[in-house]
Chains A and B, each alone.
Chain A
């Protein structure tokens, strides 16, 4: 058996995934059978940075200590339940006990013990040592349906026009904005929102999942298995102008919305939400998309959606992408790091990991656009969607604003503060160096070829300015060494400093 290595892990474990699903339900209290670290990282630290929640109020640890590792966690679990009950935290709540990597490591399976303590409570074996957050989320959603939904849903029949949105939960990047857009689209063509599950639902409402005629699964990385269980037709959330239009047509047909109503909504959208896309696409800004490249690291939905909108609808070059869960053939973080160090595209959609790799490579000409976790980023307003028509407009607007930023960053500037050694960017240009810049110098063929190769590796918009900066620096270095022409060695040395 060979050992696989991980660099800066991107997907967390099923314990996290399941807790991020169950934690959405206001009528649930979760006990995680965990040492204090697992509780703190999930319940207090990280969820504050992913979801801007000060803390998960419905999560309590058993606080596994050394003696529990030796003797098992049953006593710790009983004490936790007793204390929670005494303080009234379990009133009106369904109690769920979730295992963690550490409790699984010591085989603390409390299914039977918990049933003897609290017959109404349920034990969720998270399989955290084997499964990632996507499987964890899927299993939690199906567990909720099997335990709290299906047994009570026998008499519930699907209602026309009712639509569930399945998937949005804690730890899902940008969920509030994408969800808001989906609701707008669904109701725009005559659908009625049934349940937003689990994000805006209680566990007690689970049987009502059965009353939707259609399910919209927000993410491709998880949620589909629950939609399959429910048995009604389902669609994935759309991206882009044309992708969203196809979605509206399909959903309209499933809901029995008259074609005229669908067309009216789409036409309205063209004049409102999408007017910006039409104007920017016709304007000079639209030309830039075919001139720049990007890489995408994100959840499966975002990777497919961005590839389709940016790549197929706007003609942007997508040099590579890696989705989550990662598929065979897609780069892992070890490979992503290598690629970004070797050549950074103009735009990188990704997480804090990609941001670190770009920083390590000093790739200042690249823009990192948050598109997934890990990484602290607040995405709690409705104004930052990637999905739907609003997402198309928002993405276009944001990318163009970054083009503007790039242009600004490469315009000449004369700084007031001297903050670097002479010759460095930001330092005042001396009379001598501006004089040397005015004179031309010969370049050997090898030197010219090397500079051209280096420039080709730079993002398009940065090239024009870098070409001038590098040329001047190389010629200055050549003069400093009393050379009559710029040689390959001089270019290499210049690139090592300025590249």
Chain B
């Protein structure tokens, strides 16, 4: 790998960072989109959205762009319908139309702000039409707050409806259900390592097929690779699945996670130890060169997995003083936050806003900013190498030793591009 170009020095502000400015511009995709993305990608799902036209336009726009090339049905909801209690009738009309499509496996009814305010009642909706199951998913933006958490709401609603309950699992079967929209190679990589320990990945959710939801009921353990699948985990726990905490991130995280899987599945301890040590060593061999040493990096996304990525960067030698995310603090975020704070991260901001991130940009001198579109744009305006977090994270593996190499390499390449950013700013900024 190429040498890192000289980085900014003396990067220790004398005053400590005090967040608590105002939160004017919350940074999250519309929360409902998380649910729509998960639901629209299920084979045979015919979504029916219950909402106003502006909401419908924005959400179908982004759904058609990066969820699925799938036609979406909705009732026209205006003042007349909303004020005369017609929201129920409207939802039913859309469900009926959805049921007329060929090859429908499920009709997710996505209830959004105005429908929720009008009081769409679940008990008045059909549970199925012509044998096609109808599943209500409530995702008003004013109550869900972030787009990752809406993925959890959608997945939990689908699991509750479709998971095989009371499923008998053969006692010799050692399987893990993974939760998280991850890069397609990640579950394969994880499965490869688990098999060496005598276990395997059963299924990765949210999947693309109803059968995958059913199958999840047969898992002996469940692991949320992203720390916001609270309701879905609860649902799996009710099925008797053992919950594995954390995610296989970086050298330390991967080894710890493998040991946790081993404990949850009661695998052979010596074998688990051997595989965990191997996996850790592979990552350490790569990290030994400390490819990101000396770089100060800001991590600010709205996907909910920012802390995982920050851990990788830190293991690669970077200083990551500030991490922000759209999700809320919970039991699932606790271990990553503690790890980060023990490794030089001064601020971890939940439910962040643009103002938090800009304040951080003023407080530290960053060599690289991996942020939301808005934050990355501001960084580029200042000539700081920057990338949209979602673009960065969604196109390469993240987990185990393989993910470590892929994810750190791209950060290093970006750091080397500083002159290219600077020459653009010199031209346009003048």
Contacts and interface: CB of A to CB of B under 8 A. Distances in A.
A joins B in a complex: yes
A41 B53 contact: no
Interface string B73-114: 111111111101010011001100100000000000000111
Best-buried of A7, A42, A101, A104 by chain B (most CB within 10 Å): A101
B55 A37 contact: yes
B24 A359 contact: no
Best-buried of A13, A16, A64 by chain B (most CB within 10 Å): A13
Nearest to B372: A44
B63 to A, nearest CB: 10
B315 to A, nearest CB: 31
Best-buried of A16, A36, A39, A41 by chain B (most CB within 10 Å): A36
Contact of A12 (B58, B69, B80): B58
Interface in B330-386: 355, 372-374, 377
A197 B56 CA distance: 28
A37 B75 contact: no
B118 interface: yes
A352 B65 contact: yes
Interface stretch (B137-145, B167-175, B182-190, B239-247): B137-145
A100 B61 CA distance: 18
Contacts of B56: 6, 9
A422 interface: no
Interface in B41-79: 52-62, 64-65, 69-79
A375 B24 contact: no
A477 to B, nearest CB: 25
Interface residues of A, number: 65
Best-buried of A49, A356, A373 by chain B (most CB within 10 Å): A356
Given A7-B73, A36-B28, A54-B377, A64 B142 contact: yes
Contact of A44 (B61, B74, B89, B374): B374
Interface string A73-102: 000000010011011010000000000111
B54 A5 contact: no
A375 to B, nearest CB: 7
Contact of A359 (B69, B81, B84, B112): B69
Contacts of B72: 7-8
Contacts of B55: 13, 37-38, 41, 101
A49 B373 CA distance: 12
B60 A374 contact: yes
Contacts of B94: 3, 5
Interface in A35-84: 35-42, 44-46, 48-49, 54-55, 60-61, 63-66, 68-69, 80, 83-84
A11 interface: yes
Interface stretch (B29-37, B289-297, B395-403): B29-37
Contact of B142 (A5, A69, A101, A360): A69
A36 B113 CA distance: 11
A48 B94 CA distance: 30
A476 B227 CA distance: 56
Contacts of A36: 26, 28, 30-31, 141-142, 145
A116 B23 CA distance: 24
A435 interface: no
A15 B54 contact: yes
B158 to A, nearest CB: 21
A106 interface: yes
Contacts of A376: 65
B430 interface: no
A5 to B, nearest CB: 5
B22 interface: yes
B144 to A, nearest CB: 9
Contacts of B24: 60, 80, 83-84, 87, 89
B142 A66 contact: yes
Contacts of B372: 44
A3 B71 CA distance: 19
Interface string A346-359: 00000011011101
A128 interface: yes
A293 interface: no
Given A128-B52, A129-B52, A44 B373 contact: yes
Contact of B26 (A11, A15, A39): A39
Contacts of A415: none
Contact of A356 (B25, B57, B70, B75): B70
B117 interface: yes
A105 B58 contact: no
A297 to B, nearest CB: 14
A92 to B, nearest CB: 18
Contacts of B33: 37
B84 A101 contact: no
Contacts of A11: 53, 57
Nearest to B381: A54
B161 to A, nearest CB: 24
A69 B60 contact: no
Contact of A45 (B62, B75, B118, B141): B62
A3 B90 contact: yes
A4 B93 CA distance: 8
Interface string A452-471: 00000000000000000000
A66 B73 CA distance: 27
A475 interface: no
A105 B114 contact: yes
A431 B24 CA distance: 70
B76 to A, nearest CB: 4
A132 interface: yes
A101 B97 CA distance: 24
Contacts of B373: 44, 48, 54-55
Interface string A92-133: 000000001110111000000000000000000000111010
B69 A356 contact: yes
A342 interface: no
Nearest to A12: B57
A379 interface: no
A357 B69 CA distance: 9
A9 B61 CA distance: 9
B324 to A, nearest CB: 15
Contacts of A45: 29-30, 58, 61-62
Nearest to A55: B374
A35 B140 contact: yes
A87 B71 contact: no
A6 B78 contact: no
A432 interface: no
B31 A374 contact: no
Contact of B82 (A61, A66, A129): A129
A355 B373 CA distance: 26
A86 B21 CA distance: 10
A65 B55 CA distance: 16
B142 A68 contact: yes
14 contacts: A7-B71, A9-B74, A13-B55, A36-B26, A37-B58, A49-B65, A60-B25, A65-B143, A104-B79, A105-B117, A106-B117, A129-B79, A352-B64, A375-B64
Interface of B: 22-26, 28-33, 52-62, 64-65, 69-82, 84, 86, 89-90, 93-94, 97, 112-114, 117-118, 140-143, 145, 355, 372-374, 377
**3 cross-chain pairs, A with B, having the tightest CB-CB distances, nearest first:** A41-B58, A13-B54, A37-B30
Given A3-B90, A37-B112, 15 more contacts: A5-B74, A5-B76, A7-B72, A7-B74, A8-B72, A13-B52, A37-B59, A45-B61, A48-B373, A54-B374, A69-B117, A101-B113, A102-B114, A357-B71, A360-B71
